[in-house]
Amino acid sequence: MSTESREILKRVFGYSSFRGDQEAIVDAAVEGRDSLVVMPTGGGKSLCYQIPSLLRDGTGLVVSPLIALMQDQVAALKELGIAAEFLNSSQDPDEQRAIIGRLQRRELDLLYMAPERLVGQGTRALLRDSPIALIAIDEAHCVSQWGHDFRRDYLELNELGRLFPGVPRMALTATATERTREEIVERLELRDPGTYVAPFDRANIRYTVQAKTDARRQLLGFLKSHRGHAGIVYCLSRKKTESTAEWLNNEGFNALPYHAGLDTGVRSENQRRFLAEDGLIVVATIAFGMGIDKPDVRFVAHLDLPKSMESYYQETGRAGRDGEPADAWMVYGLQDVVRLRQMLDESDADDAYKRHERQKLDALLGWCEVTGCRRAPLLAYFGDRLAEDCGNCDGCLVPAETWDGTEAAQKLLSAVYRTGQRFGAAHVVDVLLGKTTDKVVQHGHAELSVFGIGQDLDAKTWRSVVRQLIVGNFIRADAERYGAIVLTEDSRALLRGERSVRFRKEPKAPGRSSRRVTVVSTSIRAEDQDLWEALRECRQRLAAEHAVPPYVIFHDKTLAEMIAVKPRNAAELLEISGIGQAKLERYGDEFLAVLHGSEAAESANR
Ligand code: ADP
Ligand code: ZN
């Protein structure tokens, strides 16, 4: 059995080995057993049900809540020569009838549908008379009433077990908490399912977080290593997405804005272009990204803080789904913290909710200030462990230096106390630096004992001290009083000298990521640059002809491998990752022609 699934992996998908538990999951389904599959985004969930659907008798049914994703997946499968279709409300009755006809004639390998479709009486009756190979339930966490993606229709999917006895069911999700897992098994009534939980880690994503000094300049520095790459830049406000996109265009990047306030037509056009064109940057609010499945997003940059670790992980998870190196890069500053807390305080939510959300924000802030490996605490937050430091985050690559900040902290806490816990960080820092501003004069703060005691440090360092003391919960910015800094319980021990603190040194120049060596394996040597462009042009042309995004033709990785290997004929092309039989037949000649000039390709084929 394994040999059969491996043969399909190679022949149809063009891959030479399974990843992680994929093979065991495929085997379980082929043998007719239920399973629960928990894999991070980009882990390779789809193969787990696609291959058994090809191996077992009948059609594989895939329940998926996102109509846009369905269309993309089906288009990609057709490119692989797989008989796949979807049923949803966007089709007229004739189209639907034609698809159901093919289902009944056993002509379909895979059929995607939305959950509300599957629970409808009419569809069920039809399906009962059709041979079903397996039922895959994607985004299975949607059954969880506690989760943020709850969908009522998913609750009715439990009946599938009774309606199709003997048909294996596979529930798949990227949401890993223990509780959600149990809920899925229980509510979907999976029968003694094999459970496969892949490591939560996205090892190919490099995490970098910097203090915000000059966000745009820092972003430019970061983008140097991502020329021509597709990426997402997240901002908090709609206005900022537009101004940032415009500025990026002026800087020579190809950038488009995306937010919920854009005209629907413009919005979907921008999303379409992001998928269809190479190397586009979308500057977006968090409204962007749901239901896009672009595998070659090379970076996700945050110009503003997300609101929790969960949001951060989800948003950055959109990078590098193809498993190739990708960057998650973020700048954050005190302003973000104050603003997010303020937004929270001003919302109409109840107190318990606000407290909960504040804790989530604090967890994220604490993580931003981490001094060692960044990945370890990130995974720990989600209940996963990392055996050793990852070597692929800023903490590992450019270890932060720390300094003993006890005395500085005491000075700052004293200044907060002496000025009456009524002022924001900027004023407190002015007092420490001994600046006679209007405000200082107005409140008589030049007479205080703390006035000017902080001249050993500069304003930037003091702001960093404030930020780290907030994260450490020694002070807090009181949103009800316009961000006034107030002391917390924990500050006492510090003030009394009963405990010490260490702060992380801020990097001297912004954009330290630009110093590092890029290890993007798809990066192309200078002498191959022309060939690379020619291959990408060929891909873009074929993509337009077939009305699919370029990555559906071939991933960057496949093109890069072509350059490295220079395959001379069909057999050698088949050795390259991502080239299976169908794609070889469809595109092989075109790419050989680009690689060797058209005559060489013809003679190789003879
Ligand atoms: P998920 O649904 O878990 O987010 P996908 O199924 O979309 O992930 O897979 C992510 C990417 O990894 C896809 O581009 C897919 O072709 C690729 N992939 C999956 N399994 C393998 C494998 N065994 N070898 C190489 N590439 C793989
Ligand atoms: Zn690390």
- CATH number of the CATH domain containing 481: 1.10.10.10
Mean pLDDT, the chain, rounded, equals 87
Q: Which band of pLDDT confidence, cut at 50, 70 and 90, is reported for residue 5?
A: very high
Same domain, 183 and 217: no
45 lines ligand 1 (CB under 6 A): yes
Task: Please tell me whether residues 52 and 192 are part of one structural domain.
Answer: yes
Residues 221 and 326 in one domain: yes
* pLDDT confidence of residue 77: 96
- Report CA(64)–ligand 2 centroid distance (Å): 35
- The DSSP call for residue 447 is G
Distance CA 344, CA 550 (A): 41
The pLDDT of 502-530, averaged and rounded, is 61
Task: Answer yes or no: are the C-beta atoms of 492 and 409 closer than 8 Å.
Answer: no
The answer to which of 287-291, 306-310, 339-343 has the lowest mean pLDDT is 287-291
What mean pLDDT is predicted for residues 255-267?
92
Is pLDDT above 50 for 517? no
- Judged against a pLDDT cut of 80, whether residue 11 lies above it is answered with yes
pLDDT at 513: 40
Residue 69's pLDDT band (boundaries 50, 70, 90)? confident
Cα 16 off chain centre by:
26
- Of 197, 216, 234, the residue that ends a domain is 197
Integer Cα distance of 264 and 472 in angstroms: 43
Range 344-355 average pLDDT: 81
Average pLDDT over residues 138-153: 80
Q: Span 285-292, mean pLDDT?
A: 73
Token digits of residue 78: 């057709």
What number is the average pLDDT over the span 279-305? 87
Q: 374 lies in a domain?
A: no
Dig out the tokens for 65 from the structure. 């809540």
Half-sphere exposure of 380 (CA within 13 A, CB side): 14
Residues 546, 401: Cα–Cα separation, whole Å: 53
* Ligand 2 centroid to residue 370 C-alpha, Å: 11
167 and 216 assigned to the same domain:
no
Residues 233 and 277 in one domain: yes
Q: 258-263, long-range: CB within 8 Å, 24+ apart, which pairs?
A: 258/282, 258/283, 258/284, 258/285, 258/287, 258/288, 259/284, 259/285, 259/287, 259/288, 260/285, 260/287
pLDDT at 38: 92
Q: Once rounded to an integer, what is the mean pLDDT over residues 8-14?
A: 96
Domain contains 346:
no
Flag whether pLDDT at 475 surpasses 60: yes
Domain stops at, among 154, 178, 197? 197
- Per-residue pLDDT at 507: 62
pLDDT of residue 146: 64
Reported as a single tens digit per residue, the pLDDT across 576-601 is 999 999 999 999 999 999 998 855 54
Ligand 1, atom 9: nearest CA belongs to which residue? 44
Ligand in closest contact with the CA of 371 = 2
List of residues 6+ apart from 106 with CB closer than 8 A: 58, 59, 130, 131
Q: Pick the last residue of a domain from 316, 332, 348.
A: 332
Q: What percentage of the chain exceeds 70 in pLDDT?
A: 94
Q: How many C-beta atoms lie closer than 10 Å to residue 160's C-beta?
A: 23
Question: Quick one: pLDDT band at residue 547, thresholds 50, 70, 90?
Answer: confident
Mean pLDDT, rounded, for 77-93: 91
CA of 15 to the centre of ligand 1 (A): 10
pLDDT-derived band at 471 (thresholds 50, 70, 90) equals confident
What CATH number is given to the structural domain containing 167? Answer: 3.40.50.300
44 CB within 6 A, ligand 1: yes
What is the enclosing helix (H) or strand (E) of 194? strand 194-197
- pLDDT value of residue 521: 45
Q: Are residues 550 and 468 located together in one domain of the fold?
A: no
Closest residue by Cα to atom 23, ligand 1, is 18
Residues 17 and 163 in one domain: yes
Check pocket membership of 14 for ligand 1, CB cut-off 6 A: no
Q: Sorting pLDDT into bands at 50, 70 and 90, what band is 350?
A: confident
Which ligand 1 atom is at minimum distance from the Cα of 17? 23
The residue whose CA has the least distance to atom 14 of ligand 1 is 322
pLDDT grade for 28, boundaries at 50, 70 and 90: very high
Which amino acid does the sequence have at 464? Answer: S
* CA 409 – CA 465 distance, rounded (Å): 7
Rounded to the nearest whole angstrom, what is the distance from the C-alpha of residue 366 to the centroid of ligand 2? Answer: 16
Judge if the beta carbon of residue 552 lies within 6 A of ligand 1: no
CA proximity to 49, closest of 41, 59, 151: 59
484-507 confidence digits (pLDDT tens): 899 988 899 999 989 888 888 876
Average pLDDT over residues 42-58: 94
Widest Cα–Cα separation across the chain: 93
Q: Is 47 in the pocket of ligand 1 (CB under 6 A)?
A: yes
Model pLDDT for residues 353-375, shown as the tens digit of each residue:
887 787 788 888 888 988 889 99
Q: Which atom of ligand 1 is nearest to the CA of 39?
A: 3
Q: How far apart are CA 277 and CA 232, in angstroms?
A: 14
> What is the domain range of residue 555?
526-604
Closest ligand 1 atom to Cα of 295: 14
In a shared domain, residues 65 and 35: yes
Contact predicate 208/394, CB 8 Å: yes
- Over residues 290-297, the mean pLDDT reads 80
Tell me the whole-structure pTM to 2 decimals: 0.76
Q: Is 49 close to ligand 1, i.e. is its CB under 6 Å away?
A: no
Query: Is 369 a member of any domain?
Result: no
* pLDDT reading at 511 higher than 50: no
Task: State the distance from the centre of ligand 2 to the C-alpha of 513, rounded, in angstroms.
Answer: 14
Q: Same structural domain for residues 134 and 191?
A: yes
The Cα–Cα gap between 287 and 254 comes to: 20
Domains of the chain: total: 4
Residues 6+ apart with CB under 8 A from 211: 331, 332, 333, 464, 467, 506, 507
Q: What is the CATH number of the domain that holds 564?
A: 1.10.150.80
On whether both 319 and 221 belong to a single domain, the answer is yes
Distance 373 CA to ligand 2 centre (A): 4
Does residue 158's CB lie within 6 angstroms of at least one atom of ligand 1?
A: no
| 6 and 152 fall within a common domain | yes
Atom number, ligand 1, closest to the C-alpha of residue 9: 23
**Best of 2, 46, 290 to mutate for ligand 1, by most ligand atoms within 8 A of CB?**
46
Tell me whether residue 315 is in a domain. Answer: yes
How far is it, in rounded angstroms, from Cα 520 to Cα 327? 10
Q: Are residues 261 and 322 in the same domain?
A: yes
**What are the two backbone dihedrals, phi and then psi, of residue 579, each rounded to the nearest 5 degrees?**
-115, 110
| CA pseudo-torsion sign 236, 241, 243, 249 | positive
Residue 91 confidence class, pLDDT cut points 50, 70, 90:
confident
Measured in angstroms, how far is the CA atom of residue 47 from the centroid of ligand 1?
Answer: 7
pLDDT digits (tens, 9 = 90+) for 389-412: 999 999 899 877 889 999 999 999
